[in-house]
Each structure stands twice: as C-alpha cells, then as structure tokens.
Structure 1
Amino acid sequence: MKLRIFYDSLCPLCDAEMQHIKSLDSHDNIELQDLNQDDFCVKFPEIDFALANKILHAQRADGSLITGLDVTYEAWAAVGKEKWVSLLRCSLVKPLADRGYLFFAKHRYRISYLLTGKKRCETGTCYR
C-alpha cells in the first residue's frame, strides 16, 4: 500500500471518484477507508474525524498525512494517471485549485445533487 485514503462514501461524487481510482489500481497501491464505518475512530485514532470529514485525508506508507488535492494527485499518480491532475499542483494554479477544492468539500452534497441527482448516499455507498 502506497496510500490509505480516508473518504466520505456518503458523498456520491466522492464515492464515485474513489471507486474509479480503485478500479484502476492494478498493483493494489491504494487502500480505501470509509469515514462512515462504525469503528473508524477506534481503527484510526491518529485521524481527526471532524477534520477528515471537511477535507480529504490520506496516509502514505511512511505514516505521513496529506490532505486535499495533494491526496487527489497522489492517488491518481499511484495508478499511473497523474497527468490528469498534475496541472492542479503547478505553482501558479495550486492556490486557486486548493481554494476551489475547499469550496467543493464544504458543499459536496449540494454539488453532488446538482451533478448526479443524489445528494447523499443513503445505503452507505452509491455505486457498490
């Protein structure tokens, strides 16, 4: 495992992106951990649940934590598709992209509803 991603499976867009990335993960580089699992805080006491629910978190194999679009970039890089998101990490774009991500994260259920017709996944996951 190169990257353990802590994500919100109740968000339709979040769940779809994580499942898509995982479907491309032929070398098992990514481990997905749902923030909504019953024993999350017991299994991962080092992760601040409230903060992870506001901004995407991931843990690298060395134990270091990353957040936001850095997680997105490293996840896509772990499956060999970083070119799709590398522009978001360029020095001129990064500050704007990070602000945009924070807006998305804060309003992810509303945005999901506008794009998918689903505001929240009631069964725990949208597509599985």
Structure 2
Amino acid sequence: MTTRKYTCDKLVIFYDGNCPLCSLEMQKLKQHDANNQIELVNLHQANFNTLYPDINFNKAMTILHGVYQKKLLLGLNVTHRAWTIVGKGAFVAPLQLPIVKQLAHCFYLLVAKYRHPLSQFIYRRLGIGTNTCELGVCYEKSAKETNNIDHRRQ
C-alpha cells in the first residue's frame, strides 16, 4: 500500500455502493460492528482514486477488496474476516473448509458478476433489500424514474 495509511486494528472494506445487495450486506455488517472495527468505503465516492490510489477501481468492482493489518484481502476472505470481527464468524466459518472454499469462491465470483440483476430479482420476488442505490443511498425508484417520463407541463 503506497499512499493511504491503514490502521492495523480496522478492516477497510471497498464495496460497490450502487449495488443494493452489497449495500444491504454492509448495512447489516455495520449493525453488528459495536466496536467500530470496520470502515466501509464506497467505490463510487467522488474522490476515491485520490484517496485510495492503491486500490484498482475496476478490479474492486469485480471482486470485493479489503485491507486488514496492512494486507490486501479479496472476495470471501474479506467477508469471512468482517463477520469474524463482529462476532459472527461461526456463520461464515464453513467458507474456510478446503472443498467448500473452492466451490464458494466460484459461486461468489458468479454472484459478484451478476450482483445488480440479482439485487433487482431478490427485491422484486422476495421484497428483500432495496430497489436501487446511488451514492450509498438506497431507495425504491418511483414510476416516474423508472419510465423516464417527463410529467411537467410544457
């Protein structure tokens, strides 16, 4: 890591704040972070490249990135570390078993690739999560936004 100084005691997670599924998981994670041991960084914040030149935006959009004890963590290793830090490690511990880890990693990459349409599907079918997220704020799009219809009087 070159420019940004990372503290040894915090896990810094770089996530896609425009992804409702990702934002929901980060929200749930922070609810359990009583000791403030996790710092969340939205990849879409305006000054991201300036603040974090050592994190490649395109790679981070492909696979979850995190930094813990000055080491780069990727994918499910970030997820495992995060939930372990907040005391919920038992739920993700199976992800570290040899055979499960390989299968889970492949599944994770597939989910990560299609996270936006999956978020929409889960929201529409199960009502879980939010409809959309922009700049770290999640909300349900109105019909006007969805149809892009201008209802102003001419």
Q: In which range does the TM-score fall when normalised by the shorter chain?
A: over 0.9
For residue 92 of structure 1, report the CA deviation from its aligned partner: 1.5
- Indicate the percent of aligned positions where both proteins have the same amino acid: 44
Q: Structure 2 unaligned runs (5+)?
A: 1-8, 125-129, 140-154
Which of 94, 101, 106 aligns to 2:101? It is 94
Conserved? CA contact 1:10–1:120, under 8 Å: yes
Specify whether residues 49 and 79 from structure 1 end up closer, same or farther in structure 2 by C-alpha distance, changes over 3 A only.
same
Q: Tell me the TM-score normalised to structure 2 length.
A: 0.77
Q: Find the counterpart in structure 2 of residue 126 from structure 1.
A: 138
* Greater RCO (CA < 8 Å, at least 6 residues apart): 1
Q: Find the counterpart in structure 1 of residue 51 from structure 2.
A: 43
What SS does the aligned partner of 2:121 have?
helix
Conserved? CA contact 2:44–2:135, under 8 Å: no
- Taking the aligned partners of 1:112 and 1:53, their CA distance within structure 2 comes to 15
Conserved? CA contact 2:45–2:135, under 8 Å: no
Q: Tell me the TM-score normalised to structure 1 length.
A: 0.92
State how many pairs are aligned: 126
Specify whether residues 29 and 47 from structure 1 end up closer, same or farther in structure 2 by C-alpha distance, changes over 3 A only.
same
For residue 120 of structure 1, report the CA deviation from its aligned partner: 3.8
Instruction: From the CA coordinates, give the structure whose radius of gyration is larger.
Output: 2
